[in-house]
Structure 1
Amino acid sequence: MVCGGFTGYKNALCSLNVVYMLVGLLLIIVAAWGKGFGIVSSIRIIGGVVAVGVFLLLISIVGLIGALNHHQVMLFFYMVILFLVFLFQFGVSCACLAVTQGQQMKLLSATWSLMSNETRQDVEMKLDCCGLENSTQSQEQFKRDINLCPAPCKQTIMCFTCGDKMLHHAAWSLRILGGVGLFFSFTEILGVWLASRYRNQKDPMANPSAFL
């Protein structure tokens, strides 16, 4: 009964949710650390990372409580939510692995236009670059970015655009993100399968005449 049955599924499901809980806490801690040390000053980025961490933490708590108590309703909602997360994450991971360089530039251009000046300056300081790409921005926007650019390279003759530097690492980063996301998406479908199997198990400590 250690590798299968009621106890085996319970232990496996609890272990999986403990891992999810640690990942959620890690995301929150990393976001707080980045904000505290000034690595990222954008409230939107910090808020997004914290929101993902809190969501993952809440889902793992629901799954852990449901597994410990063999709670049918909590396990059902845990399965549904985790399956929806799997569908979303699987689609995003496949898109990251399939995106082309031209699509990467369009995505960077759209993201850059939505950034606040504060976030753009953070990127320019970290990458030591100015502006996104002269060919994908209007002349007015590009000149505005150059004037507001705080990067040290602005004082030199050669200063690369952020688009050139980001595209240099974009393919590698997307492969890493897509691969990691794809791996975790399969752990989520594993969690759905474990929860489904565990819900249908009879608790050996329960009343034998009880209905499940």
Structure 2
Amino acid sequence: MVCGGFTCSKNSLCVLNLLYILVSLLLIGIAAWGKTFGLVTSFSVVAGVIGVGIFLFFIALIGLLGAIKHHQVLLFFYMIILFLVFVVQFSISCASLALNESQQNHFLEVGWNKSVETRGDVEGYLNCCGFNEMNMNETCKAHCVAAGDCLPCGSTLKTYAGEVLRFVGGIGLFFSFTEILGVWLTHRYRNQKDPRANPSAFL
């Protein structure tokens, strides 16, 4: 049977949703692993990543069940939700790729000042203290505190910020195109008649 047929559309949609399920489990696993081994102590960061993983898992599960059963309602809601996710993810990815250096520095400093737990993780991992300068009134988890030769974290973060944003934006852009592919596949699959079904039955 040609790839435009019912079976090919069904199999393609199933494979795409299995990929999303694997990605969601990977997100949940990495977040749990980072929290367990103390790499990330911020509960909000871990909860955010796990929340995204669980959301993606349930969306993929709806798509997989809808594809297997050729269920019109599940496929409709899956298509709508996937399109909304595509719009949000595509916008964020483009914004990440379009940020210039001054905007990156501004967002880094705002994020640094708002999250105390994440700040501690960064200081411990990069062995630095403070954003632009070390504040003696704040505690610092870096090993360099004992020696008294700590460098500010801002300079190190600014060095890698552009690369990280380009990487995250590129990955997000890639997955956003798989999502629009999923929307197109779902729309086509919904409008195809199952060859094994009763020919006189509705779609």
Q: Do the two structures share a fold, i.e. TM-score over 0.5?
A: yes
Shift of 1:93: 0.5
TM-score (norm 2): 0.96
Which sections of structure 1, spanning at least 5 residues, go unmatched?
135-140
Q: Which residue of 2 aligns with 1:132?
A: 131
Paired amino acid for 1:90: F
Q: Which residue of 1 aligns with 2:137?
A: 144
Paired amino acid for 2:29: I
TM-score (norm 1): 0.92
Q: Which residue of 1 aligns with 2:25?
A: 25
Which of 166, 169, 176 is equivalent to 2:157?
A: 166
Count of residues in correspondence between the two structures: 203
Which sections of structure 2, spanning at least 5 residues, go unmatched?
none
Paired amino acid for 1:96: S
Q: Which residue of 2 aligns with 1:113?
A: 113
- RMSD over aligned Cα atoms: 1.3
Shift of 1:157: 5.0
**Distance in 2 of aligned mates of 1:144 and 1:206:** 73
Q: Deviations over 1:143-167 (max 9, x none)?
A: 433xx01211223354221111100
**Distance in 2 of aligned mates of 1:160 and 1:94:** 32
Shift of 1:119: 2.5
Identity %, equivalent residues: 57
**Distance in 2 of aligned mates of 1:187 and 1:71:** 21
Q: Deviations over 1:141-193 (max 9, x none)?
A: 94433xx0121122335422111110010111111111111000000000000
**Distance in 1 of aligned mates of 2:61 and 2:112:** 36
Contact 1:20 1:57 in 2 (8 A): yes
Contact 1:133 1:142 in 2 (8 A): no
Paired amino acid for 2:107: L
**Distance in 2 of aligned mates of 1:155 and 1:90:** 45
Paired amino acid for 1:102: S
**Distance in 2 of aligned mates of 1:77 and 1:165:** 44
Helix, strand or coil for the counterpart of 1:9? helix
Q: Which residue of 1 aligns with 2:82?
A: 82
